[in-house]
């Protein structure tokens, strides 16, 4: 169920019976010469909406701009600073708590959001307001990702390319796949920006001239469909697991 499609009386029935919501989050940032800036938030929204449809749980509107200053050198990238992002997401989530939601899954498709979503989840849990956890689609199916792609990225690589080919194929610039591969690097190791155990890079531009990594020519819509189905199944299972937990068991443990 997508919350914004419902009327307030209809939602009263949901909040009376259910206590879980899905919150999709992504970014609006460069994804190379072949993918749209919307890549991450389109992926997050697709997973959250599909899981909501399959399970009956509530899905909120998507948070489209995330913590992306490390992509700022590339035209059009948008970001919010980390403290403001954390405060906004926390306020957004507390709004759900006001309506009776006490557990949230942040359906996230942008790596730059991860640490900040974990911090927000900790704040809410420590205040005993809510139990909120972060979920990343590719981390739910790592073996399949590795099986499908020899060089899977991470950023703007074949796994994200395949996903957008499946979800919004008209947005993929197929004539730029070779340019994406040839103008980027296979992985961070190939960028040679890890020195003696230290990550000496701060921005994507420090690693790759065109903003992406991996072999984008290895992507297909069929692979994207396999990834989408497998990860959606994992998300639905996570929803049902979380819904089954007694709320008291999700709160912080007592001091020993």
Rounded average pLDDT per 10-residue block, the chain, 256 residues? 96 95 98 98 98 98 98 98 98 97 98 98 97 98 96 93 98 98 92 94 96 97 98 98 97 95
What residues contact 8, with CB distance under 8 A and at least 6 apart? Answer: none
pLDDT for residue 161: 98
51 within 8 A of 239, measured Cβ to Cβ:
yes
Give a yes or no: residue 94 inside a domain: yes
Give a yes or no: residue 184 inside a domain: yes
pLDDT for residue 71: 98
pLDDT for residue 188: 87
What is the phi/psi pair of residue 111, to 5°? -60, -30
* CATH code (residue 18): 3.40.50.10310
pLDDT for residue 152: 86
113 within 8 A of 80, measured Cβ to Cβ:
no
Give a yes or no: residue 178 inside a domain: yes
Give a yes or no: residue 255 inside a domain: no
Expressed as residue numbers, the domain containing 153 is 3-250
Give a yes or no: residue 214 inside a domain: yes
Please state, in angstroms and rounded to a whole number, the distance separating the CA atoms of residues 69 and 34: 20
Give a yes or no: residue 212 inside a domain: yes
Give a yes or no: residue 256 inside a domain: no
Domain count, the chain: 1
Give a yes or no: residue 223 inside a domain: yes
pLDDT for residue 109: 98
């Amino acid at each position: 169920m997508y919350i914004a499609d419902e009327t307030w009386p209809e939602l009263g029935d949901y909040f009376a019976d259910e206590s879980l919501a899905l919150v999709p989050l992504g970014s609006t940032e460069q994804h190379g010469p072949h993918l749209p800036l919307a890549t991450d938030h389109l992926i997050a929204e697709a997973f959250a909406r599909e899981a909501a449809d399959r399970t009956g749980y509530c899905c909120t509107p998507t948070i489209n701009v995330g913590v992306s200053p490390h992509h700022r050198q590339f035209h059009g990238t948008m970001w919010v600073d980390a403290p403001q992002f954390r405060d906004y997401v926390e306020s957004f989530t507390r709004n759900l708590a006001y309506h009776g939601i006490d557990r949230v899954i942040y359906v996230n498709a942008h790596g730059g959001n991860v640490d900040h979503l974990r911090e927000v989840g900790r704040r809410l849990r420590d205040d005993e307001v809510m139990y909120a956890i972060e979920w990343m689609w590719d981390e739910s199916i790592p073996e399949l990702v590795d099986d499908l792609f020899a060089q899977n990225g991470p950023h703007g690589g074949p796994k994200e390319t395949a996903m957008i080919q499946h979800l919004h194929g008209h947005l993929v610039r197929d004539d730029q796949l070779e340019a994406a591969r040839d103008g980027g690097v296979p992985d961070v190791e190939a960028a040679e920006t890890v020195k003696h155990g230290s990550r000496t890079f701060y921005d994507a531009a420090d690693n790759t001239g065109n903003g992406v990594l991996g072999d984008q020519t290895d992507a297909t819509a069929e692979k994207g469909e396999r990834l989408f189905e497998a990860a959606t199944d994992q998300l639905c299972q996570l929803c049902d697991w979380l819904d089954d937990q007694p709320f008291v068991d999700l709160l912080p443990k007592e001091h020993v």
